[in-house]
Amino acid sequence: MNNSLTLLGLLSRQASYGYDLKHSYDRYFGTGKALAFGQVYSTLARMVRDELIRALGEETGGGPDRKKYEITVAGQDTVREWLFTPDVPSETLQSNLFAKTVIALLTDDDADRLLDVQRAEHMARMRQLTRLKQDSDLLHVLMCDHGLFHIEADLRWIELTSARLTQLKKELLSA
C-alpha cells in the first residue's frame, strides 16, 4: 500500500492536522501496523514541497505548533489518477516462497518440509484473521477477507507445488 497516496487521499476529504490525519489513517488502514508520527510529518513535508498540499497556517498552544493542511488542485489530480489506475495483480512473478522452494530443491534440501512449515504458518494466519473478523465492522471484515483470499490462493499453490515437487526437481537438475 502506498502510504503517501493514501494520506493524500484522506486529505482530499477535508483539511486536517497531521495528528488527526495519522489517527484517520490508523482507523481505516492501521490494523496491526499503525503509521508512525514521524512518517506522517515527513510525508506531509514532501507533499508541501511537491505542491500537492499546502499548510493553512499554524496554531500555537501548550505543545508544538499545529499546522493544518489542505490538498491543492495538483494533489486532487494525483489522487484521482491513483484511484483510477489499476494495480497490476502479482506484478512480479518472484515470491520468497517460490524462491525458497527452488533453492531447497537445487540444494537437495527438504522442500516438502519447507512447504509443510509454510502451510502451518498460513493456517495460523487464517485463524488469526478469522478471529479478527468476529465482532468487527464491515471495513475490518473486508480487510480481513482480502487477506484471507490471498492466503487461500497461496495454500492452493502450496498444495499444487507439493504434488509436483518430484517433477520440478527433475526439471531443475536437468537444466
The 66-71 sheet, strands edge to edge: 16-17, 66-71, 53-59
**Per-chain mean pLDDT for the chain:** 91
For the whole model, what pTM was predicted? 0.74
Q: How far apart are CA 104 and CA 111, in angstroms?
A: 5
Query: Mean pLDDT lowest for which of 51-60, 95-104, 155-164?
Result: 51-60
Nine cell digits for residue 51: 505542491
Residue partners of 123: CB distance under 8 A and separation at least 6: 155
For the chain, the straight-line distance linking the first and the last C-alpha, in angstroms and rounded, comes to 37
pLDDT for 33 beyond 90: no
Q: What is the mean pLDDT of residues 96-103?
A: 93
Q: Name the pairing type of β-strands 16-17 and 53-59.
A: unpaired
Q: What stretches of 30-83 show up as alpha helix (H) in DSSP?
A: 37-49, 73-83
Instruction: Give 58's DSSP letter.
Output: E
Q: What is the pLDDT of residues 140-156, one digit of tens each?
A: 999 999 999 999 999 99
